[in-house]
Amino acid sequence: MPDAQRSARSTAGDTTRVAAAGGATEVITFEDVSFGYDRTNVLEGVDFGIAPGETVGIIGPSGSGKSTLLRLIAGFDEPRSGRVTCNTDDSANCPISMMFQTDTTLPWLRAEQNVLLFSRFRKWRRSRRTLDLKQHARDLLAMVHLEDAAKRYPYQLSGGMKRRLAFATAVAPQPQLLLLDEPFSSVDEPTRIKIHQDVYNIVKELNLTTILVTHDLAEALSLCDRILILSNRPASVVAEHHIDFGPDRQLVHLRDQPEFMKLYGAVWSDLSEQL
């Protein structure tokens, strides 16, 4: 990151959002970040960066601060010390989009209306984007296999369909950074694996920089390019695993592969040391 985009690190901490610079190699950078509530230290000395188009999984013990990392990136919280830099384009309509574990679809809107909710906000309207919104909604719903459910309300959808709709809604504004906070934990495993394939394909097709927080090691291995393991509180990054299963992953069959099982064992070994 260029020196012009850096400022002296303050003891109070800092979350900075700067315009994307030519040659920038990281979308998100954590520099010696610490965070806590009252007298509880949650994070301590966290350092990592995420490159454009990369999908990074965050795993760790329960309560280790995985979701806190997302809150710091999204700007919901500020670090006690250190620096979080979001190297996004200030002109973007939606630099960051977040998908939560809970259902956030609006029950009074149909599926296609939920997907296009972003277009109602003033910042988007002012941008005068030349986007065919109706076609955009149709395309996204088709990508998550909900093209026949466009006119349905959320209560008319199954749990898995709601998760697909929530994902389509999260990527609809074409974010520069997508944050996923245990988004599929409520779905049964067979359905979850099918959703994983759609999510993986869409993220790669749209070249989305993505951060996934999950307790599911198989989910992280299936969807991510890299996994960061957090220690127990106060958490720091204690291990990193790169994943190279190729760009054309078939997730239904991937879990049977020896290389998947080998990497699963290595990740579990590092994680189990923190339990």
In a domain, 97, yes or no: no
- In this model, does residue 11 exceed pLDDT 60? no
So what's the pLDDT on residue 122?
56
Q: Please check whether residues 148 and 16 belong to one and the same domain.
A: no
In a domain, 100, yes or no: no
Q: Please check whether residues 135 and 253 belong to one and the same domain.
A: no
Q: Please check whether residues 257 and 183 belong to one and the same domain.
A: yes
So what's the pLDDT on residue 219?
96
In a domain, 144, yes or no: yes
Q: Please check whether residues 183 and 268 belong to one and the same domain.
A: yes
Q: Please check whether residues 163 and 136 belong to one and the same domain.
A: yes
In a domain, 27, yes or no: yes
In a domain, 99, yes or no: no
Q: Please check whether residues 7 and 85 belong to one and the same domain.
A: yes
Q: Please check whether residues 166 and 228 belong to one and the same domain.
A: no
Range of the domain at 141: 108-175
Q: Establish whether the linkage from the previous residue to 234 is cis, with ω within 30° of 0.
A: yes
Q: Which of 149, 175, 201 lies at the terminal end of a domain, its last residue?
A: 175
Q: Please check whether residues 197 and 246 belong to one and the same domain.
A: yes
Q: Please check whether residues 149 and 164 belong to one and the same domain.
A: yes
Q: Please check whether residues 34 and 162 belong to one and the same domain.
A: no
CA-based radius of gyration for the chain: 19
In a domain, 102, yes or no: no
- 8 A C-beta contact, residue 237 and residue 48: yes
- The answer for residues whose C-beta is within 8 angstroms of residue 176's C-beta and 6 or more apart is 20, 27, 88, 89, 92, 94, 95, 96, 209
* Banded model confidence at residue 38, pLDDT cuts 50, 70, 90: confident
So what's the pLDDT on residue 21?
47
Q: Which of 150, 175, 200 lies at the terminal end of a domain, its last residue?
A: 175
In a domain, 103, yes or no: no
Q: Please check whether residues 22 and 154 belong to one and the same domain.
A: no
Residues 115-160: tens digit of each pLDDT: 999 888 756 655 556 578 889 999 999 999 999 999 999 999 999 9
Q: What is the CATH number of the domain that holds 36?
A: 3.40.50.300
In a domain, 72, yes or no: yes
User: Can you tell me the distance from the alpha carbon of 235 to that of 41, in angstroms, rounded to the nearest whole number?
Assistant: 8
So what's the pLDDT on residue 18?
55
Residues 166-203: tens digit of each pLDDT: 999 999 998 999 999 999 998 999 999 999 999 999 99
Max CA pair span of the chain: 53
Number of domains in the chain: 2
Q: Which of 123, 144, 175 lies at the terminal end of a domain, its last residue?
A: 175
Q: Please check whether residues 186 and 146 belong to one and the same domain.
A: no
Instruction: Name the pTM for this structure.
Output: 0.89
So what's the pLDDT on residue 12?
59
Residues 52-108: tens digit of each pLDDT: 999 999 999 999 999 999 999 998 999 999 999 988 775 555 689 999 999 999 999
